[in-house]
Amino acid sequence: MLEILGKTNFDFMGKRRYAFMFSGIMVLLGVIGLIQVGRGAANLGIDFAGGTAVQLKFDLPIRIDEARKALESNGLGDAELQEFGLDNKLLIRVKTSTTIEEKVAEKVVAIFKKEFPGNTFVVESSTEIGPSIGKKLQGDALVAIIISFAGIILYIAARFELRFGVAAALATFHDVLAVLGAFYILDKEITLLVVTALLTLAGYSLTDTVVVFDRIRENLRLRRRENEELMINNAINQVLSRTIVTSLTVVLVLIPLTIAGGEVLHDFSLALLGGVIFGTYSSVFVASPLLLLWPASSGRLLKRS
């Protein structure tokens, strides 16, 4: 039997003070990121902010500073450029509140045709989104988040106890905020796909938390007299090898997607990767200690068994 870990007996609950401090910082970053997103000050993708994105693929390498100069001298100084090195690809984003009627995409194409006559290119994709769509998307995303959280708390409260539901939801929220905070610090663009990834990682993190909680529930039923802190510690240690093996396999899946999945999947996979790491951490160090903050209720779990 090949094992990464044998029988372990780590004192996870004893470290909860450090964990809460670290998580507090990450959540704070996340909240700042969230506020900036709400204010429109973060690096919002054009699918939320509205605007134009054009992706060009050139035959020859193109220097990004020359491209920027060309755009500036033609009145598109506020364009953002991003290059995908090996493929001679260039992504140009213009986020101003321009309406689509101004045909920014066509203008960008015309500028590059004029300024780089020796370097032919094809338009790989162009996206133009009116500001009204972005507003609607933001609203939809918010509704989706609130409803899924309510649904999850209700389900877990029904299957476990209310405090498990609330702790799981808080831990999940923590993971989403931590990844959002990391994206904000790294100045990554928050696109619709990144939001999808955030919601997915919420799902993943929940799964992970539920597995740990499930073991805690089982232990609570079996050994009702033991000290709760010890019992939670035991439960975590019992499922630890599963936690690590699972996270490892998911990481194994995500690494190739992040590295070789192409530019569209890159940020998506990166967010998920962060989510797996935080999700695994939070099940052990956030969700479980949160249970200790909330003293056991009348013992619903015990009656069931």
Candidates 21, 41, 147, 230: give the one binding other proteins (CB under 8 A): 147
Nearest to other proteins of 81, 130 (CB atom): 130
Q: Is the dihedral of CA 147, 148, 153, 155 positive or negative?
A: positive
119 belongs to the binding site for other proteins (CB under 8 A): no
Q: Which stretch binds other proteins (CB under 8 A): 18-26, 133-141, 222-230, 296-304?
A: 133-141
Per-residue exposure over 110-130, b if at least 16 CB sit within 10 Å of its own CB, e if not:
ebbeeebeeeebeeeebebbe
Q: How far is CA 203 from CA 54, 170, 198, in A?
A: 32, 13, 9
**What mask of x and - would describe binding to other proteins in positions 156 to 175, judged by CB under 8 A?**
x--x--------x-------
* Contact positions with other proteins (CB under 8 A) in 215-234: 215, 218
Nearest to other proteins of 29, 177 (CB atom): 177
CB–CB of 46/127 below 8 Å?
yes
- Reduced 3-state DSSP string for 28-88: HHHHHHHHHHHHCCCCECHHHHCEEEEEEEECCCCCHHHHHHHHHHCCCCCCEEEEEHHHC
Candidates 12, 116, 204, 285: give the one binding other proteins (CB under 8 A): 204
86 belongs to the binding site for other proteins (CB under 8 A): no
Nearest to other proteins of 39, 86 (CB atom): 86
Q: Which two tokens stand for residue 249?
A: 């396999």
Candidates 82, 88, 96, 127: give the one binding other proteins (CB under 8 A): 127
* Contact positions with other proteins (CB under 8 A) in 5-64: 55, 57
Q: Which two tokens stand for residue 305?
A: 């068994």
Candidates 14, 40, 262, 299: give the one binding other proteins (CB under 8 A): 262
* Contact positions with other proteins (CB under 8 A) in 236-255: 238-239, 241-242, 245-246, 248-250, 252-255
179 belongs to the binding site for other proteins (CB under 8 A): no
Candidates 128, 161, 175, 189: give the one binding other proteins (CB under 8 A): 128
Other CB atoms within a 10 A radius of the CB of residue 151 amount to: 10
The C-alpha atoms of residue 84 and residue 79 are separated, in whole angstroms, by 16
199 belongs to the binding site for other proteins (CB under 8 A): yes
190 belongs to the binding site for other proteins (CB under 8 A): no
The C-alpha atoms of residue 55 and residue 125 are separated, in whole angstroms, by 5
Candidates 108, 178, 194, 272: give the one binding other proteins (CB under 8 A): 272
Q: Give the CA-trace dihedral at 222, 226, 232, 234, to 10 degrees.
A: -80
Which residues fall within 8 angstroms of residue 71, CB to CB, at 6 or more apart? Answer: 77, 79, 81, 92, 108, 111
Q: Give the CA-trace dihedral at 169, 233, 204, 7, to 10 degrees.
A: -170
Least Å from the CB of residue 83 to other proteins: 15
Nearest to other proteins of 186, 260 (CB atom): 260
Candidates 157, 162, 211, 292: give the one binding other proteins (CB under 8 A): 211
The C-alpha atoms of residue 97 and residue 49 are separated, in whole angstroms, by 8
Least Å from the CB of residue 295 to other proteins: 23
Q: Which stretch binds other proteins (CB under 8 A): 37-45, 72-80, 135-143, 229-237?
A: 135-143
Q: Give the β-pairing of 80-84 and 51-58.
A: unpaired
Candidates 214, 228, 234, 296: give the one binding other proteins (CB under 8 A): 214
